[in-house]
Copies of this chain bind each other. A is one copy, B any other.
Amino acid sequence: MALVVIGGVAAGLSAAARARRIDPRLEIVVLEKGPVISYGACGLPYFVEGRVNEATDLVVYTPEYFRRERKIEVRTGARAAAIAHPRREVVLETGERVRYERLVIATGARCDTGGIAGSAQPHVFTLHTLDDAERLRRFIAEKRPRRAVVVGAGYIGVEAADALRRRGMRVTVLERSAHALLRDDAEFTAAVRRTLEQHGVELCCGVNVTTVEADRVADVSCDLVVLACGFRPNAVLAAEAGVELGRSGAIRTDERMQSNLSGVYAAGDCAEVTHLVTGRPTYIPLGTTANKTGRVAGANAAGGRERFPGIVGTAIVGVFGVGFATTGFSVAQARAEGFSPVGARIEALARPRYFQGTKTTVELVADRATGRLIGGSVIGEEGAAGRIDVIAAALHSRMRVEDFEQLDLAYSPPFAPVWDPLLIAAQQLRKEI
């Protein structure tokens, strides 16, 4: 019995490690196309900024570690060119064939450069791999750019803007859509804009970048460009082997993370998962989901029986010290999903006034028909992660607003006010329903 895992970052390595726990004797091979494995991709912006000093700080495990401690063979520089499923073989670029009984596809995603012309120029970067980040940091050290454009105001784009600004550059973010951080919510985007502008970063929405010129993007002159236009699943290899893709273009899986092909699992940024608020497949590539789906895929591929019910779309990003956190749907997104949404947004102190609490903004969204919470956002310098996680837990259990309003949350002056902003938002929302 041999398990082959294609991909050696979050999902692939979680799968391999979990498979080993389930079956101590299983032969496990991980094929990674790049030169390193297991790096904290979400730390890349902080490496560019310099807060993380060494690239090696982001590398959690080495192939040697996996070989020695887990008896897992990890091959770097091993790029899969095809999956010959009838013969149960992965064909490498070199022509070598690696046999499997079970296969986990964790091929990840690639930066969507959106057909932008001029992206191959030396001053144009993406921020997806450790190599990307090292090249960008080297470029900054050597060329000392003064004016940067970031294309895309998603998580990576905004984090990159933060990092480049802290490196002393003037930074402009150009975003195609009308909103930032993938949240179709004008007030949320306005808050992102305010925070960026307070720190000297310009955000221009509704700008469709088609070309990067040598010294400018759109009408913004610059000597450094970061493309952060989102991600596309790497699913061609799978699709060519007969693996079914979903509407998003990512691999469709069941609750066991198995694809339509028996014994072939998928996990991480190449796979769809279920959105628990709608019950429908969705594609939201994030590190947390990659680790979780990898773990489940690996367990099941090794003969275990685990399930991954799905996600609720929780995310947080830090922008100059302010947390911008979202889960579920905004009002506009919920409407697009077929709900009759109603939302309430409040601003309140994250701690008592006499304890120098700062302001936090909480938005809650409910479905008018059922009274069920279906989304929320939290913005603040303190407690944004904890508060969005409470909303996320409520989405998981399909909690109604009137029950959420009664939550027995922790209170003590150094930590929270006696009426938590979450509860104030719920009271407000119940009035609106």
The residues of A with any CB-CB pair to B shorter than 8 Å are 10, 40, 42-43, 46, 51-52, 57-58, 155, 276, 286-289, 291-292, 308-318, 323, 325, 327, 352-355, 383-390, 392-397, 399, 403, 406-416, 418-420, 422
Chain B residues whose CB sits within 8 angstroms of the CB of A312 once the complex forms: 408
B410→A315 contact, CB < 8 A: yes
- Supposing A390-B389, A390-B390, A393-B393 touch, asked if A411 and B287 sit within 8 A by C-beta, the answer is yes
Q: When A354-B40, A397-B397, A413-B43 are in contact, do A292 and B406 touch as well, CB less than 8 Å?
A: yes
- CB-CB under 8 A from A311, the residues of chain B are 408
Shortest distance between the CB of A109 and any CB in chain B (Å): 16
* Complex CA–CA separation, A312 to B288 (angstroms): 28
Q: List 18 A-B contacts (CB under 8 A).
A: A40-B352, A42-B411, A46-B354, A51-B355, A291-B418, A308-B406, A310-B408, A311-B408, A313-B408, A318-B415, A387-B389, A389-B390, A389-B410, A389-B420, A392-B409, A396-B403, A396-B406, A396-B407
Q: Are B354 and A52 in contact, CB atoms less than 8 angstroms apart?
A: yes
In angstroms, Cα B396 to Cα A285, docked, is 30
Chain B residues contacting A411 (CB-CB under 8 Å) are 42, 286-288, 315-316
**B327 and A408 contacting across the interface, CB-CB below 8 Å:** yes
Bound Cα distance A192, B428 (Å): 38
4 nearest CB pairs, A to B: A386-B386, A397-B397, A316-B410, A385-B415
Report the separation of the CA atoms of residues A52 and B291 in the bound assembly, to the nearest whole angstrom: 44
Q: Which residues on the B side are within 8 Å of A408 (C-beta)?
A: 276, 288-289, 310-314, 327, 392, 395-396
> How many copies of the chain does the oligomer comprise?
2
**Complex-state Cα separation, A243 to B43, whole angstroms:** 61
> Does A415 contact B323, Cβ atoms closer than 8 Å?
yes
Q: Is the CB of B327 within 8 A of A410?
A: yes
With contact pairs A288-B418, A415-B318 given, residues A355 and B52 touching in the complex (Cβ less than 8 Å): yes
Pick the contact of A410: B289, B325, B353, B395 (CB < 8 A).
Answer: B325
CB distance from A313 to the nearest CB of B (A): 7
Interfacial chain B residues near A403, Cβ < 8 Å: 309, 396-397
Residues from chain B with Cβ under 8 Å of A316 in the complex: 410-412, 415-416
A397 and chain B: residue at smallest CB distance: B397
Whole-angstrom CA separation of A353 from B408 in the bound complex: 31
Q: Is the CB of B407 within 8 A of A389?
A: yes
- Docked-complex contact A410 and B394, CB < 8 angstroms: no
A170, chain B: closest CB distance, angstroms: 23
Given contacts A43-B352, A354-B43, A393-B393, contact A385 B410 (CB under 8 A): yes
B42 touching A412 by the CB < 8 A rule?
Answer: yes
Q: With A314-B408, A392-B410, A407-B393 known to touch, is A385 a contact of B416 (CB < 8 Å)?
A: yes
Q: Which residues of B contact A155 (CB under 8 A)?
A: 412
Interface centre among A51, A52, A407, A420 (most CB of B within 10 A): A407
